[in-house]
Amino acid sequence: MADPQYQAPLGHSVASHRVHGWCSHCPGRYPVEEMAAWRHHENDRYEVSKHVVTPAPETDVTVAHEQLCPECGREALMVVTAQVRDDDGPKPAGGWAVCLHCDALPHPCWEHAGLIAAVARLRALHTDDFGGCAHCTREDFVPYPCPTITALDEFKESDRG
């Protein structure tokens, strides 16, 4: 569709007629009115450009089932994590955890699924291998539970408060 052609009487302002529908040369109008109308028009344009509404970022909610519960030690912890995605990538925005076995609401430091997964990986490395730690025993025999597992268990017990 072609742009509409704005017309104004000979000697009148085409721009003013296009924007306001009149100009200072129209009968009953004055230059001060046209100037005030242009100022009002530009102020409105400035306010609209200044208050651009940015779209809400996209969000992701993930649920990790059967995680290791720090309270009862069973794989019954459900961890819910909310993330906000923007131009810089996903960022954690919150979440919670609840054990479906013991109804525990773990300490906030256990809420992050990454921490729970890291502890699970540590426990998988440090397993009982004929009375010794499968990971720590290289040349010297390190009895199971090794210092790593002991530290994880002590943290778990002291966290119960």
Asked whether the whole model's pTM tops 0.85, one would answer no
- Residue 31: which pLDDT band, with cuts at 50, 70 and 90? confident
Asked whether residue 119 is domain-assigned, the answer is: no
Averaged pLDDT, 111-124: 70
Are residues 64 and 87 both part of a single domain? Answer: yes
Asked whether residue 61 is domain-assigned, the answer is: yes
Digit-coded pLDDT (tens) for 44-74: 877 766 666 666 677 777 788 888 887 788 8
Asked if 75 and 68 touch (Cβ cutoff 8 Å), the reply is: yes
Q: Where are the alpha helices (DSSP H) in 1-159?
A: 14-19, 31-50, 113-125, 147-159
Looking at the DSSP assignment, which residues form a beta bridge with residue 132? 129, 143
- Residue 2, pLDDT score: 46
Burial class (CB in 10 A: 0-12, 13-18, 19+), 49: exposed
Domain boundary among 53, 77, 95: 53
Report how many domains make up the chain.
Answer: 3
Q: Is the pLDDT of residue 138 over 50?
A: yes
Asked whether residue 118 is domain-assigned, the answer is: no
Asked whether residue 141 is domain-assigned, the answer is: yes
- Residue 68, pLDDT score: 84
Task: In whole angstroms, give the CA distance from residue 63 to residue 114.
Answer: 12
Domain boundary among 37, 53, 69: 53
Asked whether residue 121 is domain-assigned, the answer is: no
Are residues 62 and 108 both part of a single domain? Answer: yes
Averaged pLDDT, 112-141: 76
Are residues 22 and 67 both part of a single domain? Answer: no
Averaged pLDDT, 94-121: 71
- Residue 27: which pLDDT band, with cuts at 50, 70 and 90? very high
Asked whether residue 101 is domain-assigned, the answer is: yes
- Mean pLDDT of all residues belonging to the chain: 77
- Residue 8: which pLDDT band, with cuts at 50, 70 and 90? confident
Are residues 46 and 63 both part of a single domain? Answer: no
Averaged pLDDT, 115-122: 75
Asked whether residue 75 is domain-assigned, the answer is: yes
Query: For the chain, what percent of residues have pLDDT higher than 70?
Result: 79
Domain that residue 13 falls in? 1-53
- Residue 110, pLDDT score: 47
Asked whether residue 25 is domain-assigned, the answer is: yes
